[in-house]
Amino acid sequence: MKRIVLKFGGTSVGTVENIQKVANIIKKRHKEDKEIIVIVSAMSGVTNELKKKSELISKNFDSKELDTLLASGEQASSSLLSGALIDLGIKARSWLGWQIPIVTDNNHTSSKIIKIKTQGILKFISEGGVAVVAGFQGITTDDRVSTLGRGGSDLSAVTVAKFFQTDLCEIYTDVEGVLTTDPFINKKAKKIDKISYEEMLEMAALGAKVMQPTSVQAAMIDNIIVHVRSVFSEKSGTKIVSESGIDYKKVVTGIAYSKNDAKVTLVGAEDKPGVAADIFEPLGNSNINVDMVIQNISSDGKKTDVTFTIKREDLRKTLSLIEKNNKNLNYQKIIHDDKVSKVSIIGAGMIVNPGVTHKMFRSLANERINILAISTSEIKISVLVQEDSTQKAVKALHKAFELD
């Protein structure tokens, strides 16, 4: 008999009606004669509401108590869903973190799962029961409630799939899967049938909307096949698998872009060992996330230009940190531009297909889009462009790489 994990997010169980709808989906899957472990998030809005209360009480609310507080959300949703299943005549019960138990480390609010005891649930599902596991939560070795951090229920699902050696981990959500690009800026965006873990991670925001990167990474490490699909449709969604499981007919899998970027160039910085470290160390210390970094070989071996991108909201702070540091860096001037965005093509297929870079640059040139900077990895090529040409760039690349 097949054993599967079905995970339902906060929107899927956001109302009583949705909970009943989810119960009916589970009932249908249960009839397929499968052993079913369900993972459920808190009803949408509940976690934020509880979080807000804690913040009103203290700006520095105790992390152990915060975990106990937040875990109550999944306790409620798992029992409501179990009750709905029982009402449909299905044997079901809720399993809280401590009842299984799901044991985590003591790193409250972003704990890592150490182990999951499978005995109780295995017995229950072997007797035809549907186990409804409260997502996001576990307990530490000293019996305190812990939580797994952002997107924790996805992580619960992947880790449960691992420990229970299930055949599949299905993430039910409110979208039909991972799309080739953002449908808001390109109506021709299409659902991707299969995507590799690495591609999914490189898809950044586009992928993260569907599944948190930490959970994708966890699935990658243990080679768990994840199927992201919609609660509103019976159609198959996107399967996240290892690269070897994909037959790459297309070179590029998806087109991603980032908004709200800013570009900073240090013109004529001293070209000496350690200059890059000197530039970025103070930024790192101030929690400023540097994305692309481009440094050209200097023509005279004495001066070089260093360009990097950051989030737009960090621009002011970045400039002030750089200026403070000028004695060290000894640059001639700073140029900055807060109206840029990054457009990327992602595809594991490009590793074995030469000419992708050229094709990308050509199609942007055809649209008269100026490339401000370039950075590449094994399965991703990113270019920095003026923000107002983002949409044009995405559309051109989507078409050029036959994703339309």
Distance CA 297, CA 309 (A): 19
* 307 bridge partner residues: 265, 294
If the CB atoms of residues 153 and 341 are measured against a copy of itself, the closer one turns out to be 153
Q: Which amino acid is at 269?
A: A
* 309 bridge partner residues: 263
> 371: burial class by Cβ within 10 Å (0-12, 13-18, 19+)?
middle
Residue with structure tokens 């989507």?
A: 398
Position 326 contacts a copy of itself (CB under 8 A):
no
Q: Are 90 and 25 in contact (CB under 8 A)?
A: no
Pick the binder of a copy of itself from 19, 102, 130, 350 (CB under 8 A).
19
Pick the binder of a copy of itself from 72, 217, 236, 328 (CB under 8 A).
72
Query: Least distance from C-beta 10 to a copy of itself, angstroms?
Result: 15
Position 62 contacts a copy of itself (CB under 8 A):
yes
Position 98 contacts a copy of itself (CB under 8 A):
yes
Task: Restricting to residues 136-165, name those near a copy of itself by CB under 8 A.
Answer: 143-145
Which residues fall within 8 angstroms of residue 349, CB to CB, at 6 or more apart? 248, 249, 250, 251, 252, 253
Q: In 96-212, where does DSSP find H-type helix?
A: 119-126, 152-163, 197-202, 205-208
Pick the binder of a copy of itself from 48, 58, 107, 141 (CB under 8 A).
58
Position 93 contacts a copy of itself (CB under 8 A):
yes
- Tokens for 299? 């023509």
Position 110 contacts a copy of itself (CB under 8 A):
no
Q: Cα dist. 204→207, 344, 375, 380 in Å?
A: 5, 10, 15, 11
If the CB atoms of residues 67 and 314 are measured against a copy of itself, the closer one turns out to be 67
Position 25 contacts a copy of itself (CB under 8 A):
no
Phi, psi of 180 (to 5 degrees): -65, -30
Region near a copy of itself per CB under 8 A, out of 91-99, 287-295, 336-344, 376-384: 91-99
If the CB atoms of residues 11 and 375 are measured against a copy of itself, the closer one turns out to be 11
Position 109 contacts a copy of itself (CB under 8 A):
no
Position 283 contacts a copy of itself (CB under 8 A):
no
If the CB atoms of residues 143 and 234 are measured against a copy of itself, the closer one turns out to be 143
Beta strands at 254-270 and 333-346: parallel, antiparallel or unpaired: antiparallel
**DSSP summary character for residue 143:** S
Query: Least distance from C-beta 138 to a copy of itself, angstroms?
Result: 14
Distance CA 288, CA 393 (A): 27
Pick the binder of a copy of itself from 86, 168, 329, 371 (CB under 8 A).
86
If the CB atoms of residues 66 and 345 are measured against a copy of itself, the closer one turns out to be 66
Contacts with a copy of itself, residue ranges (CB under 8 A):
16, 19-20, 50, 53-54, 56-58, 60-62, 64-66, 68-69, 71-73, 75-76, 78-80, 82-84, 86-87, 93-94, 96, 98-99, 143-145
